[in-house]
Every structure is written in structure tokens, then in C-alpha cells.
Amino acid sequence: MKLLKLISSDKMIIGLVALIAVGMSFIYLGKGAENPVQSMQANSTSTSVSTTNTKIGALEKELENKLQANILQMDGVGKVQVSVSFSTGLKNEYARNQNVTRRTSKETDKSGGTRETTEVTENNQVVMPNGSSQPVMVMEDRPEVAGVLVIAEGARDPKVREGIHTAIQTLLNIPSARITVVPMGGV
């Protein structure tokens, strides 16, 4: 009788452990199946937010607004949407204080041999104005434009489309292949 109770309690414990293991695997697998979608959504959200909050994102938006304002002034264009993307970031060149020191020494030993040693010390520090945490900037280059997409109501007309294309090419000084002008669709 005691043996039956012991065996049945062992089976009960094994059953509970198995049930817990199965439950944990469902929880784990459920999270695993859910996480890729959530993480992809989180990544896309953070990417779009970070793009607009960065200097590059701000420059892209500024350029889009300027191009849109110019294109809207053109005859027959109608509503316009402009998207710009950069292939490089901002390029900054800072003032540097370069200092090169050379020291040469000659030594002669007792047997008449001489040895000449040259020591070169280079100091290349970024120039920081007194009381400022920003270095002195010598030059700032805008990023290179990777491409421009213009969606315009009037782009169905080949003359309007060509005019937009030429205006973008002239304003940004970029090759024609980096510019796409398409008609606005929709309902």
C-alpha cells in the first residue's frame, strides 16, 4: 500500500514537472514568435524617429522643403511631395595646432665611434577657443545627395516632368540618374 502511494506520488510529481515544462515551452515559443514582429516594428519606429532627430535627418527635411517650395512655383506642377536621401554624412574639418619638434644628438664613445639620434615629437591638437567646448571649424561640407524623388500632380505632362527634373538637377548639381519625377496618383 505504501509502495502504491509512493509510486503514484512520483508519477504526480513527474506529471507536474512535465506540465510545467510544456507550459514554459509554450510561453517561451509564444514570446519567440511574437518578438520578431515586435522588434521589427520597434526598429522601424526608432529608425524613423532617429532619422528625423539627427542632423542628417534635419538637413534632408530642410532640403526637401526648399525643393518643394521651388517646384510649387513652377507652372502646371500642382501638389508636390519631395523626398531626399543622402549617401554621406556631414563632413567637418577643424582647425588644428600642429607642432613638430626635432632634436638631434651626437654621441662619441671611447673607441671613436659616433652615434647620431634624432627624436621627433609631433603635437596635433584640435583648436578650442577659450571658454568653449566646441572646436574651431575651418570647413563644413554638406552631405552628398544619393537621390531625389518628386511626386507631382502635373508630372503626367512630359514638359512639366522635364522642367521639374531639370530644376532639381540644376539646384543640386547631381547627375540625372539620381532624380526621379513621377505623377501623383491616388483616389
pLDDT at 106 over 80: yes
- Domain boundaries of the chain, sorted by first residue: 1-53, 55-90+142-183, 92-137
Spatial separation of the C-alpha atoms in residues 166 and 159, rounded to whole Å: 10
Mapping DSSP to helix (H, G, I), strand (E, B) and coil, where does residue 173 land?
A: coil
At residue 187 the predicted structure's pLDDT band, cuts being 50, 70 and 90, is very low
Q: How confident is the model at residue 170 (pLDDT cuts 50, 70, 90)?
A: very high
Q: What is the pTM of this model?
A: 0.51
What was the pLDDT predicted at 165? 94
Third-level CATH fold of 55-90+142-183: GMP Synthetase; Chain A, domain 3 (3.30.300)
Give which of 98, 94, 99 is closest to 135, Cα–Cα. 94
**Smallest Cα–Cα separation from 156: which of 186, 179, 181?**
181
Q: How confident is the model at residue 158 (pLDDT cuts 50, 70, 90)?
A: very high
Nearest residue to 160 (alpha-carbon basis) of 170, 149, 150: 150
Sequential DSSP letters for 13-34: HHHHHHHHHHHHHHHHHHHHHH
pLDDT of residue 174 exceeding 60:
yes
What would the pLDDT profile of 12-52 be if each residue is shown by its tens digit?
667 656 667 666 655 555 544 444 333 333 333 333 334 44
HSE of 107, CA atoms in CB hemisphere, 13 A: 5
pLDDT tens, 109-150?
888 888 888 888 888 878 877 877 778 777 777 788 889 999
Residue 76 pLDDT > 80, yes or no? yes
Spell out where the chain has E strands: 80-86, 91-94, 96-108, 114-126, 137-141, 145-152, 179-183
Residues 6+ apart with CB under 8 A from 101: 120, 121, 122, 123
pLDDT score of 121: 85
For the cut 80, the answer to whether the pLDDT of residue 184 exceeds it is: yes
